[in-house]
Amino acid sequence: MFFRRHRPAPQPVDYAIDVDRLGVQYNLRFTRRTTVHGTFKNLLRPRNGPTHFWALRDVTFRVRPGESVAVIGPNGAGKSTLLQVLAGIIQPSAGRVDVRGNVSSLLTLGAGFDQDLTGRDNILLAGAFLGFDHREMLTRLPEIIAFADLGDFIDAPLKTYSQGMRARLGFSIATAVEPDVLLLDEVLATGDAVFREKSKARIVELLRAARAIVLVTHDMHWVAEFCNRAILLERGQIVADGRPADIAALYEERSARARAEREAQEAAAIARIRAEVASEAAPTARG
């Protein structure tokens, strides 16, 4: 989904993003999958388990102009929640977030698109979402179309696009609006090799213009190529913050350790079940 907001900086500052002791708490009784009927049942029925959990807790960091920061971590670590807070979609439950200047984000791929409109019309639609005047988007239209390089598909309905084509269109729009802060969530990995190189060059341009970029990805190659800093999140908290190569290596090490622990637990559970089955079968065999 496309989001853009403008927050003028009244005086020069040495950061683009300032996050201080950020916390986001969710109510487990009110989720997107909960129906109205189910919600009332949950409210009336006592629960033994927890009703709240912290998706993010005590998260503190700063991003300076010219930094490209990768946020990595296992599923459920709070990475996408963090981006949504930075984009202004989710309000913090605790702490403070200060994002300076124009913010452009491309979260949930294609969420801001209309499936029945053409790629060309979706560019103008996205411009409206981002808060740009229609005439201004018309002037930017040729550059965005050229960068996306979709050929005749630019005038075809979006429902005919592949995921990679949607990613190219979305990235082209999000980076053509000259943001001070660019937020990306798992959208670059879907492009082909040629477009990946173009995307890399575009990000380098943004960094040279002292833009700040925060990128969520599971692709460690992108971390090494595109970022000059990485943050490792686990269970909603920052585990490490530093050089991309170091943080990526730490992430791989901790992931391998977690997999080994899960496999050991699964093997132990299977052995226990087999022992129980054998114990129950033994009296029957003797009889």
**Does residue 258 sit within a domain?**
no
What residues contact residue 96 under an 8 Å CB cut-off, 6+ apart?
18, 19, 20, 21, 22
Tell me: pLDDT of 183 over 70.
Answer: yes
By CB atoms closer than 10 A (0-12, 13-18, 19+), residue 69 is: buried
Average pLDDT over residues 131-156: 92
How far apart CA 230 and CA 248 sit, in angstroms, is 8
What confidence tier does 249 reach under pLDDT thresholds 50, 70, 90? Answer: very high
Domain assignment present for residue 185? The answer is: yes
Least confidently predicted of 13-27, 42-56, 111-125: 42-56
pLDDT at 204: 79
Domain with 117 in it:
2-239
Of residues 244 and 182, more confidence is placed in 244
Residue 252 lies in a domain: no
Q: Tell me: the pLDDT tens digits for 93-132?
A: 999 999 998 888 776 545 568 899 999 999 998 888 777 8
Structural domains of the chain, count: 1
What CATH number corresponds to the domain at position 86?
3.40.50.300
Domain annotation covers residue 225: yes
